[in-house]
Amino acid sequence: DSGVTQTPKHLITATGQRVTLRCSPRSGDLSVYWYQQSLDQGLQFLIQYYNGEERAKGNILERFSAQQFPDLHSELNLSSLELGDSALYFCASSPHTDTEAFFGQGTRLTVV
């Protein structure tokens, strides 16, 4: 158990809908990262927050947004969902920005 909690574990939704994925980082970790893993692909970095502020942005679509709250949990919002958004979404956390990240078990999103 990495100490990073992601909910829900599975999500099935229709095209055009909006979903919110939630991540609780390890206790004390200030940095939260979101990654997307599509079928047979590597982990694609989406976005990073550090202590409530956005710190780095990767290949995140405009239809996607994220935030980190004062209690340090983070949410990833995916809207106007398309079939191609079906993927595993991982959250990771680290104490700061220059240490190894610990991953949650992921949320498997299926868009039908």
3-state secondary structure the chain: CCCCEEECCEEEECCCCCEEEEEECCCCCCEEEEEEECCCCCEEEEEEEECCEEEEECCCCCCEEEEECCCCCEEEEECCCCHHHCEEEEEEEECCCCCCCEECCCEEEEEC
Nearer to another protein among residue 60 and residue 65 (C-beta):
60
Residues that bind another protein (CB under 8 A): 2, 4, 33, 35, 40-45, 48, 50, 55-56, 58, 90, 92, 97-98, 100-106
Instruction: For the CB of residue 22, give the shortest distance to another protein in the complex, in Å.
Output: 15
- Nearer Cβ to another protein (38/77): 38
Which residue number, 14 or 100, has a Cβ lying nearer to another protein?
100
Nearer to another protein, 3 or 84 (CB): 3
The CB-of-78 to another protein minimum distance in angstroms stands at 19
